[in-house]
Structure 1
Amino acid sequence: MRRVHALARWIVIIGAILSLLLVGYAYLSKRPQDLPWTPLDLSQPVGLFTGRKLAALGPSPDQCRALLDRAGVAYTAMPPTGSGQCHYSDAVRLKGGEDAILLSPASVAPACPVAAALKLWEWHIVQPAAQRHFGQPVRTISHFGSFSCRRLYGRSEGDFSEHATANAIDIAAFVLEDGRRVSVVNDWTGDDKDAAAFLRSVRDGACSLFSTVLSPDYNAAHRDHLHLDQADRGDFGWRACR
């Protein structure tokens, strides 16, 4: 029993030390977004807990839309649709602009936490990667959709996909400013090293913003797209990135 109490005491002590180190790091580096208890701010660079904070927005559509408003993101809030396991109440349709990446088809309306993560992905991951590898920005992101009433992997039984609540989007390709198309199906294992490196950069960067990121490295079902979703697995939930 004494050993159990001693172990518990050491766990508490170590936890307190780690928390103090985290606070000290965030304070000295002036990065409050690296702390788990600070409010999410879309105007800040991506922090250690940004992804978890985005996923936790699921039950709070008003809070999520307020974040988009404060960040100057143009969107249209969609009316609730569906019923049972296949429904959404917080979907938004992002609007394109002079400096914003267009989604194609433009009619897609993912859940607000997915849309918020897409904007951070655009600002901090996709565009910087495009400039590094191609010397130009991305103008359009092609996708395979968001809302789809289906179970995981199209099965007839089992858990429903995050697509069933518009809490996911499948990214197929990126169109650069000069019209060049970089697609997952053609360039993930293609001969163009810059295109392949770009796709892996945006995949890896998405892992800090989305709960689940699945690419061709995961399985054959994802050979032509990147699956991004915001499954809420709790404060200490695991994250999938492959």
Structure 2
Amino acid sequence: MRWAIWMAVAMALALTAYALLKGRPQDLPWTALDLAQPVGQFTGRKLAGLTAHPRTCQELLAKAGVPFVAMKPGGEGQCAYADAIRPQAAKGAIALDPVDVAPSCPVVAALKLWEWHVVQPAAQRRFGQPVVRITHFSSYSCRRMYGRSSGDFSEHATADAIDISGFVLADGRRITVVRDWAGDDPGGLFLHDVRDGACRLFSTVLSPDYNAAHRDHLHLDQAERGEMGWRACR
């Protein structure tokens, strides 16, 4: 037992030294989340942990200059939500389409990091231009998983998920999951890039590779289990 404790201490010290030498505090599990920092080894867990701290989440978004409107709590029972926010248009930021979507704060925080560190770099790499809009199907929906009449409720039931259907580039070109996912052209490669990048930020990422129910969208959610490192990426 003593040997195991010493090993754990040594690993923690080695991790700390690495992060400090590299100037990457986001790679440490015990440092506070900072949306101004690049994505680190523990960023995804910290984002999922915000589900229990909605005020902290909103403070982080405000500090990062992300405009939003906090929504009143709504729903009831298994479909109650209390931390939904509506992102507001900002110069130079990607717009969500439709604009009236209001996911939970941790989902919005992950979406912003996804935009900054995954989506826009991938768009520049594959197309040489930025994404200006992200199209989606929904966020909040009081339903069970896959619309079943029984079983676990979906993360959509608490606004902790959003379904991304496509992207619009600055020149007006549309990249959609249903049409472009299977292609080996820049559109298909871009979609796989953003799916893979989302897996570092969301608790669950489901794509057409998972099943037919996701043939036309990327399901992104911030289930609480992500705080413990239990993630799903398909």
Q: Same fold (TM over 0.5)?
A: yes
Which interval holds the TM-score relative to the shorter structure? over 0.9
Give 1:234 deviation, angstroms. 6.2
Determine what percentage of the aligned residue pairs are the same residue.
Answer: 67
Q: Give the TM-score normalised by the residue count of structure 1.
A: 0.94
8 A contact 2:107–2:161 mirrored in 1 = yes
Three-state SS of the structure 2 residue aligned to 1:142 is strand
State the match for 1:13 in structure 2. 6
**C-alpha separation between the residues in 2 aligned to 1:23 and 1:14?**
14
Q: Secondary structure at the match of 2:45?
A: helix
Whole-angstrom CA distance in 2 between matches of 1:237 and 1:36 = 11
Q: Which residue identity is paired with 2:182?
A: T
3-state SS of 1:199 partner: helix
What are the Cα deviations for residues 181-233 of structure 1, in whole angstroms up to 9, with x where unaligned?
Answer: 0000000013x511111001100100111000011111111110000000011
Aligned structure 1 segments of 4 or more residues deviating by more than 4 angstroms: none
Query: When the two structures are superposed, what TM-score results if normalisation uses the length of structure 2?
Result: 0.97
Q: 1:66 aligns to what?
A: 59
Q: Which runs of 5+ in 2 are unaligned?
A: none
Q: Distance in 2 between matches of 1:91 and 1:26?
A: 33
Alignment partners' CA distance in 2, 1:235 and 1:227: 18
Partners of 2:71 and 2:83 within 8 A in 1? yes
| Residue type at the aligned position of 2:233 | C
Aligned pairs, number: 234
Aligned to 1:39: 32
User: 2: distance between equivalents of 1:15 and 1:155?
Assistant: 44
Q: Once the 2 structures are TM-superposed, how far is the Cα of residue 102 of structure 1 from its aligned partner?
A: 0.5
Matched, 1:204 2:162: no
- The whole-number CA distance in structure 1 between the counterparts of 2:185 and 2:7 is 44
Larger relative contact order (C-alpha < 8 A, sep ≥ 6)?
A: 2
Q: 1:153 to 1:135 in 2, by over 3 A?
A: same
Residue 86 of structure 2 corresponds to 93
C-alpha distance in 1 between matches for 2:229 and 2:14: 22
Structure 1: which 5+ residue stretches go unaligned? 1-7
Question: In terms of Rg, which structure is larger?
Answer: 1
Letter in 1 for 2:190: F
Equivalent residue runs for 1:1-242 within 5 Å: 8-190=1-183, 193-233=185-225, 235-242=227-234
